[in-house]
Structure 1
Amino acid sequence: MIRTIADCAAALRRGDINAEALLEECLGRIRRLEPHLNSFVFLDEAGARQAARGSDVRLAAGASRSPLEGVPLSIKDSILVADMPATWGSRAFADLVPDRDELPVARLRAAGAVIVGKTNVPELTLEGYTKNDLFGVTRNPWNHALTPGGSSGGAAAGVAAGLVAAALGTDGGGSIRRPACHTGLVGFKPSVGRYPRIDGFPALLTDFETVGTLSHSIEDALILDAVLAGPDARDRRSLCAPAQARSPGPARILYLPRFGPSPIDPDVAEATERMANGLAESGHTILREPLFFSLEDVARIWQVVTRSGVAWLADRDEARIGRQLGAAARTMAEDGRTFSGADYFDALDRVTSLRRLCAERFADIDFVLTPTAAALPWPAEQPFPTEIAGQPAGPRDHAVFTGWVNLAGLPGVSLPVGVSQSGLPIGVQLVAGFGADAALLAFAGEVMARYPRLSPPMSVDP
């Protein structure tokens, strides 16, 4: 049985189940399904049971801290959790066990959530599938031969299979939204600063990467947002994150079905077009206009910043980190060493220009609608699909729709809207202006009211 956060909260509130029993239900499901998925890299059964017992005491006393009280959640292995390994998917950090929670985790604990364990990632969370030299490959609960995407692939697989109610992940270029798309989930990436972060790994992607959530519904995303959002003076970005409301009435939506010449799976294109038409029939204004920013700028920014970040990390401690990195990360570091300081500042200048363009464009629209991923899930051991819609595809072609959102610092959400002819989930992406996170989630909730929740086939539970 797959339970949402809202399901868990209601059952605990009614007394249909207690937090310890709910945890044991999840652990039993983990024992049955993990051999097929490889979602988790670490389970803290003792710590989770202790947390569940504390929740039961508070629930019995009518002192629940939040709707997350007693709800089992997972944390991506690029986010630090006290007394749990934090490997970042790399042998370079195989022995790291932090002594404190990263701020978003601390907020979840303070809200009464039960942290079950850590989920698998690609090394340094810089690839669009989930495999590393420490823990191997993670598989999609919809089809175990295929990937759940990355880099929050372990998180997505676990939530989709019902191992936990929801997950905390990170999104630096689509790393929450695309895995959510590939597993039939809601994946939310907030505006820069909405979920403050301290006490984490180095920020290789500057402020492009944010913490975000994977869940079964917008209702669950809102429950998590209420706990994770809010300023903290130790992360100055969070002090400047506005809360922009949307005017009542029909929305103005810029529909971008394609990005340049990049191929797109026909089932994905059809599902996104169907949503655009449905929104128009509901009275919203759908604008079909050319892309308003440069794909070449986006590609250049991504290449320079990501590669430079890996080079910086490797070179700061060559013996402990650089020599321990896997082949893909070493190649990124080598590429990063070819860029100059001037190249890096040029990339940052392009980021500034992109953010201005987005601010100007969102002055007279409410949302942008795109597919979330250009491809359906591909073989689990393969870093990216080499062909999409019968056309050759490169490493980022499947991911073309998401990275610009990170560079611009905007909120984006992937919504599960259908299943392909081959039986795989499809997601579409809605993006809002900076700070319009609440308006985005509210509108997404209206949209998803028309769609049934997606669940993997029962064969996932042998």
Structure 2
Amino acid sequence: MRATEIASAVTARQTTAMEIAEQALARIAASDLNAVVTIDPERTRADAKAVDRRVASGETLPLAGVPIVVKDNIWVEGWRITQGSRLFADFVAPEDAIAITRLRRAGAVIVGIGATSEFACKGVTTSPLYGPTRHPLDPRLTPGGSSGGPAVAVAAGQVPLAIGTDAGGSSRRPPAHVGVVGFKPSYGAIPYGPGFAEPFWRISAIAPITTDVADASLAFDVMAGADARDPDSFDLPSAAAGAPLRLAFSPRLGLDVSVDDAVSAGLQQAVDRVRASGLAILDKDPVWPADLAEDAVMPLQHAGLAALYGDALRSDPTQFDPDIARQIERGLGLSGAEVGRALEASTQIARAFAAFFTEVDVLLAPTVPCVAWPFTQLGPSEIGGKAASPRAHAVFTPFANHAGVPAISIPCGVNSRDLPFGLQLIAARGHDRVLLEVAAQAERVFRG
């Protein structure tokens, strides 16, 4: 069942949070996809019993009994949270992140911790502690990263709702690859932390992953809103009725990059279907700085990793995923000027999107340029018939993080092997609920 259906059934006493939790635990135990890396059945059962007592006492809980999986880099009090790293193999979170507290208050029941790549810094979900997470449609493939565990847990029917993080597309690309919904809110719309120090500066967001937009909206409403502990958090403005929304479609997000033919054709067909439903959509690209390189902002991640873990790498390189070690080494070799240029590129991206959203309300674009690839590779060797760099699969998602704007991926098609890809919708910062409403309209079109 969807999260909304479970909450309604538990509230109506048609089932119990305990029954729902036991079913979720059984589905997780029966899976060999390595999506959920930590379970604590007794803690889960105690939390489910507490929800049932609250429902029996007359409380109205918007997520009553909904089982959730939380990504392995978000603090959940009393649970082992490792960031997929040997450095944190025995770490137990001392408190909940604010978003987790709000989910618990709403009646959600945590049934497991979802796999992530080490420090959420890799486009494939594999880690030194837990190994690879497998694609639910083909175990030879990756769901992408870094929120692959949460995305697969939803796509495989283990839970209807998972919570990821997104600092460059980590909770949009894996959902696109496995055929579910991933929503990255505006930066600050959901308070961040308490939690680990991260190698990302002011771009990461807590992100619900669900089977449909309605469940993503419900989870977002529960988690959103300012909290004094996060100075970047804010309350969203009330949605105001006004002129018809201005929608635009950009088949390559204004970038000179390759896209697989099946993805390109499928996206065009999806947008044409939305147009045929009555929504007017212009063809319009964002305009980026002429000298913006494909990897212009990656030094920020490398520098952040080096600042946090450079000393540990020097002490014992064997503790790290070799791919993450290489990122740290790159960060250690960066000059201040190189980091400064990456910060300026981030600023220019934000300004370009801000200018674009003075003329457009919602932008439709690809989430990914390709479908899933073998989990043994950092990325596909080719995209659109051309040789691809290891990060070429991630080109369409990071800009929304650097601009702080909301973005959502919804399933919109499959290739000839029935592997999914997604349509990404993006709006101006703070316009999250407008974005969710347009995404829901498009979803209704795709589902017929």
Question: Please, what TM-score do these two structures have when normalized by structure 1?
Answer: 0.92
1:74 aligned residue: 69
Contact in 1 for aligned 2:267/2:413 (Cα 8 Å): no
The residue type paired with residue 20 of structure 2 is L
**Deviation at residue 321 of structure 1 after TM alignment:** 7.7
The residue type paired with residue 334 of structure 1 is E
Change in 2 beyond 3 A, CA 1:319/1:347: closer
Q: Distance in 2 between matches of 1:318 and 1:275?
A: 46
Change in 2 beyond 3 A, CA 1:298/1:200: farther
Contact in 2 for aligned 1:244/1:435 (Cα 8 Å): no
2:3 aligned residue: 5
Q: Distance in 2 between matches of 1:227 and 1:327?
A: 38
**Deviation at residue 440 of structure 1 after TM alignment:** 0.3
**Deviation at residue 171 of structure 1 after TM alignment:** 0.6
1:52 aligned residue: 48
Given the alignment, which residue of 319, 335, 338 partners 1:340? 335
Change in 2 beyond 3 A, CA 1:11/1:172: same
**Deviation at residue 251 of structure 1 after TM alignment:** 2.7
- Choose 420-429 or 433-442, whichever is displaced more: 420-429
Contact in 1 for aligned 2:297/2:343 (Cα 8 Å): no
Given the alignment, which residue of 143, 164, 169 partners 2:164? 169
The residue type paired with residue 401 of structure 1 is F
Given the alignment, which residue of 35, 47, 52 partners 1:39? 35
**Deviation at residue 342 of structure 1 after TM alignment:** 2.6
1:393 lines up with 2:391 in the alignment: no
1:83 lines up with 2:81 in the alignment: no
Change in 2 beyond 3 A, CA 1:219/1:183: same
**Deviation at residue 336 of structure 1 after TM alignment:** 0.8
Contact in 1 for aligned 2:310/2:332 (Cα 8 Å): no
**Deviation at residue 275 of structure 1 after TM alignment:** 2.3
Given the alignment, which residue of 235, 239, 252 partners 2:230? 235
Change in 2 beyond 3 A, CA 1:249/1:368: same
The residue type paired with residue 18 of structure 1 is T
Change in 2 beyond 3 A, CA 1:117/1:125: same
Given the alignment, which residue of 116, 121, 124 partners 1:121? 116
1:432 aligned residue: 427
The number of aligned residues is 447
1:253 aligned residue: 247
1:30 aligned residue: 28
1:181 aligned residue: 176
**Deviation at residue 30 of structure 1 after TM alignment:** 1.2
Matched residue of 2:104: which SS? helix
Deviation per residue, 1:176-220 (Å, 9 max, x gap): 001110111110000110011122111311111111110011110
Q: Distance in 2 between matches of 1:188 and 1:161?
A: 18
1:285 lines up with 2:280 in the alignment: yes
**Deviation at residue 256 of structure 1 after TM alignment:** 1.2
Structure 2, unaligned stretches of length 5 or more?
none
1:384 aligned residue: 379
- Equivalent positions of 1:191-230 (< 5 A) are 191-230=186-225
2:146 aligned residue: 151
Contact in 2 for aligned 1:256/1:370 (Cα 8 Å): yes
- Choose 136-145 or 444-453, whichever is displaced more: 444-453
Matched residue of 1:415: which SS? strand
Change in 2 beyond 3 A, CA 1:13/1:110: closer
- Equivalent positions of 1:446-461 (< 5 A) are 446-452=441-447
Contact in 2 for aligned 1:165/1:215 (Cα 8 Å): yes
- Choose 7-16 or 221-230, whichever is displaced more: 7-16
Matched residue of 1:101: which SS? coil
Structure 1, unaligned stretches of length 5 or more?
454-462
1:131 lines up with 2:129 in the alignment: no
**Deviation at residue 246 of structure 1 after TM alignment:** 6.3
Change in 2 beyond 3 A, CA 1:278/1:371: same
Matched residue of 2:219: which SS? helix
Q: Distance in 2 between matches of 1:226 and 1:299?
A: 34
1:303 lines up with 2:298 in the alignment: yes
Q: Distance in 2 between matches of 1:126 and 1:381?
A: 16
Matched residue of 2:292: which SS? helix
1:408 lines up with 2:403 in the alignment: yes
Change in 2 beyond 3 A, CA 1:41/1:320: farther
Q: Distance in 2 between matches of 1:179 and 1:85?
A: 23
Matched residue of 2:422: which SS? strand
The residue type paired with residue 386 of structure 1 is S
1:357 aligned residue: 352
Q: Distance in 2 between matches of 1:389 and 1:353?
A: 28
**Deviation at residue 316 of structure 1 after TM alignment:** 5.1
The residue type paired with residue 426 of structure 2 is V
2:258 aligned residue: 263
**Deviation at residue 253 of structure 1 after TM alignment:** 2.0
1:328 aligned residue: 323
Contact in 2 for aligned 1:204/1:306 (Cα 8 Å): yes
Q: Distance in 2 between matches of 1:318 and 1:47?
A: 35
The residue type paired with residue 147 of structure 2 is S
Q: Percent of pairs identical after alignment?
A: 37
Contact in 2 for aligned 1:246/1:366 (Cα 8 Å): no
Change in 2 beyond 3 A, CA 1:404/1:85: same
Q: Distance in 1 between matches of 2:278 and 2:241?
A: 15
**Deviation at residue 381 of structure 1 after TM alignment:** 2.3
Change in 2 beyond 3 A, CA 1:419/1:144: same
Matched residue of 2:187: which SS? coil
The residue type paired with residue 426 of structure 1 is F
Matched residue of 1:416: which SS? strand
Deviation per residue, 1:71-106 (Å, 9 max, x gap): 110100011111111111111111211211111111
Q: Distance in 2 between matches of 1:15 and 1:140?
A: 35
Q: Distance in 1 between matches of 2:48 and 2:291?
A: 50
The residue type paired with residue 16 of structure 2 is N
Contact in 1 for aligned 2:210/2:216 (Cα 8 Å): yes
**Deviation at residue 290 of structure 1 after TM alignment:** 4.1
The residue type paired with residue 428 of structure 2 is G
1:457 aligned residue: none
**Deviation at residue 248 of structure 1 after TM alignment:** 4.2
The residue type paired with residue 10 of structure 1 is S
| Superposition CA RMSD, Å | 1.9
Change in 2 beyond 3 A, CA 1:203/1:181: same
Matched residue of 1:236: which SS? coil
